[in-house]
Chains A and B, each alone.
Chain A
Amino acid sequence: MATTTAAVTLTSDLMSTNMSVSASTTCMKAGTTADGLDQMEYGYLDLPTGDEYDLIASTPTASKASKLYLKNHSTDETYYVAVTQNAQAIGKLYGGDWMFIPADFHDAAGDIAITANGGTNKICYALFHEGTVLVTT
């Protein structure tokens, strides 16, 4: 069994007492503690402005426990990547921001789509999953 852990730490001084929140999870297949996610897709690319693109070109198996990591590596604070799912806005990843979500890919319309704004954004992504439907040539 592959063991992949994902940990987060949030710290802030915006309240009168400093805040620190931490969590860690082992990325497992859906509904089990016996088998970890054992497949991965990883990329680092330039995202030009002008069009919306599917982040994941293949079709991950629907309704599993896939995990998606996405970071905007742009250094210009005004640049951002708009992230949507099935045309529903999730949020904007500004330069330096990252996100980590469970991605359901519930059907053919459930793709995660990204659009660059401000200029060409550099992004890094990783998808941990249970399988994909590969695109035939």
Chain B
Amino acid sequence: MATTTATITISSTDLLTDELALSTTATLTAAGNSTGLVGSGGLGRKRLASGHAQYVLFDGDAYANGAHKIYLKNTSTTAAEYFTIEINSEQMGKLYAGDWAFFPWEANADTNDIKIDPSADDMVLEYMILIDE
């Protein structure tokens, strides 16, 4: 069985009076059991050329309902540049330069697409899907 882990570390020495240090690791498994995820879309990199139109990154129609995991990173170094992330037509948030996101994706409907919309031309997004097949 494949073992895939996701570790997050959040830290700050000056946000609070006391130091903030949070770290946790999840072993990623299929929905409702302890079997490791067995599929991956690999690590991808996409440059949104011109026109910065909204782009379907993952099509809900192409994946079964499951415990998929999504990783996104905005590689821009220009602070004001962001990708707007939407699921179906609901705006989750804006991924600013250098920011990353990691979240479960259910793909519970054909319309449950993950869409990205860059705020400027020629922005580059790194992405990966870990698939619950």
Contacts and interface: CB of A to CB of B under 8 A. Distances in A.
B40 A97 contact: no
A98 interface: yes
B15 A38 contact: yes
A57 interface: no
Nearest to B107: A91
A67 B94 CA distance: 10
B56 interface: no
Interface in A1-56: 2-15, 19, 21, 23, 25-28, 30-33, 36-38, 40
Contacts of A25: 98-100
A59 interface: no
Interface residues of B, number: 66
Contacts of B102: 8, 10, 98-101
A86 B71 CA distance: 22
Interface size class, chain A: 35 or more
A90 B105 contact: yes
Interface string B93-117: 1111111111111101100100000
Contact of B14 (A3, A32, A80): A3
A104 B4 CA distance: 29
A5 B12 contact: yes
A14 B12 contact: no
B92 A12 contact: no
Given A12-B5, A96-B26, A103-B92, A40 B67 contact: no
Contacts of B36: 14
A80 B106 CA distance: 12
A100 B32 CA distance: 21
B34 interface: yes
A101 B94 contact: no
Interface of B: 2-16, 20, 22, 24, 26-29, 31-34, 36-40, 42-43, 67-68, 71, 73, 79-80, 82, 85, 87-106, 108-109, 112, 128, 130
The 4 closest A-B pairs by CB, nearest first: A91-B104, A102-B93, A14-B2, A88-B90
